[in-house]
Structure 1
Amino acid sequence: MSFRLLQRLRNQKSSLIFNSPKLFTHFYSSLSEPRYRNSPTPILKQSIFTSGHVFCCRNNGFSPLLCEIFNIPCWSISARLLSSQAVVEQSTSDGLTVEGIIANGWTIYNEDESDWKSHASAIAQSIHLIKKRLRWKKLIHRLEILSDQLNKPDLWNDPVHAGKISREHGSLMGKMKEVNAFEQELLEHIDMIKLAREENDSELESESQKGLLTMRKHIKEKELEALLAGEHDTSSCFIEVQAGAGGTESMDWASMVMQMYMKWAERRGFGVTVVDEMPGEMAGIKRATIRVHGEYAYGYAKSEVGAHRLVRISPFDSNKRRHTSFASVAVIPILGDGFSRVQINESDLRIERFRAGGPGGQHANTTESAVRITHIPTGVSASCQNERSQHQNKASAMAVLQSRLDQLEMQRQAEMNAEHTQSLTDINFGSQIRSYVLHPYRMVKDHRTDYEVSHPDSVLEGDLDGFILSFLSASLDKDEDADL
């Protein structure tokens, strides 16, 4: 970077230097050269102390060495200051904002086109979409409320409540700072390109163009993460499948649905364990519970709650007639000890032990290792028979029971039953969320979003991401600008 460009930035007295980690790092690498070390430093120091901007090496990722070189104090920024900054739009040195970029309507070309305006416009659109999905105004308002609560002197009198407030505050702060960093980086690159062109610095312009392209690719991943911004979306979960009306047909279909989710979880790299399974008399299962372990497992799986309908030629009908079967799916987040909402007392539990079911023969269980636990005050129960010992089955059943009671409490408090799960009793015509048709034509269609595919075999093999992302996008994007 030329000394002339440094002089030009000083004369502009823009905030670019002070709000741009990448640009400041670029300056630092230049200033490390002996010929620049003596001259620009006083220029930058003077600009910093006369600009009125806050410089924070800890919060913006600067090395403390920069503070030492420029003899600048290192301040920390409070949560309230950050939230207030989130309300004020960041801009380039000539006043261009992210919303201004969108308003300009720059044409968006493919990523292989070297047009910086195209990249900038695509990134700005992504930032706008992420803010919408995070419900930006509500996020900032909630952050201010949490900041006030954290400042109360008696907060830690209740460590459990304080821990919950602290965790939520940290999570929201991380999301807000990440979006602000995206905005800042975009505007930095634009400033750099404009200045490089004025100074005929082709190398710096090329670097900034590449930076925009890299950012454009990276921010697409963040669009997906923004779909999973719910309170418990990062949690693991239990998926419960239950056969509906239809006897053996529905039991066989329930088994197919359970296998479908196990394959889906494996494709996504989640851990899968069968916690409980009740076989059908002739085929399939009456009900089953599987544990899906991994980050964002609940965030993805929650879109699968509801009744699933299958239409096919029955393999159990000697006359080869077409049958319709139903299976219901419930998804329960596993909150963990720090988030559990219900304290379970041993005196409120009824524990029953019985022999695990199975195919018989050598596989028959000859000891009473299966466990069923009932929470007497609520009538909620959970069972497990798939572990090797009674102790392991009891631990697994307790984990399921805890999650079910937590879910019940969330439903009671928030009065949002449909968000977490729905009744397993309403499994019939008109209640399905998705239809899997294998005859007379082949198609899988989600009735909530109208998303459909014509290759049901791949769906039954676990290819569910298209349906899941379509539902999550539709759910969050329907109120397009209400929360910006």
Structure 2
Amino acid sequence: MAGMGRSALRALGRCSATHTPVPSSSCGTDAKQLRRYKLGMHARQSSALCSPPSGLVVKEPPTQLTGARGFSSMRRTVRQLRSHVQGYAVAQYCAESSGIVRRLEEVEQRLNAAKEVMDIPACKAQLADLEHQAEADDFWDSPTQAQALMQTIGTIRDELEAMERSHNDLEDARVALELSREDDDPLLLEEATALAQGIQAVLDKWETRRLLGGPHDAKGAIVTITAGAGGLDAMDWAAMLERMYLRWAAKEGRAVRAVERSEGDECLLKSATFEVDGRFAYGMLAGERGTHRLVRQSPFNAKSARQTSFAGVEVMPLFEEDNAEVEIPDKDLEVTTMRSGG
């Protein structure tokens, strides 16, 4: 009742049990006080909702107390709801913050392990030595060896730059997390999460390439797809495989060059051969070699019968053209001449 004026109390005293609605002008109260009165009565959920009619005065002090108490009760309920919502938001923020802390710790451990495996000082020394060799005047006299050396230089430089960039991103993520705790800013927390995810993607890619230690894994790839048994379904399955590999190459940013393509009935694929450039293309695609099988309800069958289709995939490393001249000693040659008689 402390927050209500005398005019509001007089309006509360004019409540009637007939529930006849009357405009607010007959009550002698302003709109703000009338809204308070209605909110208080609604919060208390009284069985007899009062409205102040003109000409009727009901002297019932309990009704005045009911409206005021209802308004104060509603204010208390709103404060409790607000505190619950704020508490839930704080709890959710703390959970997300602790989650990003654990993720950053995991990323730091993986990054330190990767640096230890790489041996950063040794890689920098090797890179400097190879760059010194590439500056020689007769470096390009042997194009094949020069290209191989330049590929090695590019690989080492990319790995060093990736590790340096990941280290800087880790420091930025820590700073963003600390600022988010000080300012309670969820945007900074999202930024730290995005940086941690980027570092994890770089480490995943680096670890995958470390597993590709074969003699030709770092080369490009020649992929050949051939439809097997299954008729139209097999040719459709071969076309789906071709589309899958081409989209993967586009996603990885690798150049693709078509070598041969043979289409069958209904513009489906009988066979296709294409080259995928880029480092580690052969290592990434070598596991696709073999026969691929698809079991489905055939869209080319009127009865939608279950059909099994086959397609073969062959993957070979892409070697650079070697224009070196081959000399065969005369002592290794054997010449035979014959003459027919008749």
Class of the TM-score when normalised by the shorter of the 2 chains = 0.3 to 0.5
Q: Which has the larger radius of gyration?
A: 2
TM-score by length of 1: 0.33
TM-score by length of 2: 0.44
Structure having the larger proportion of residues in helix: 2
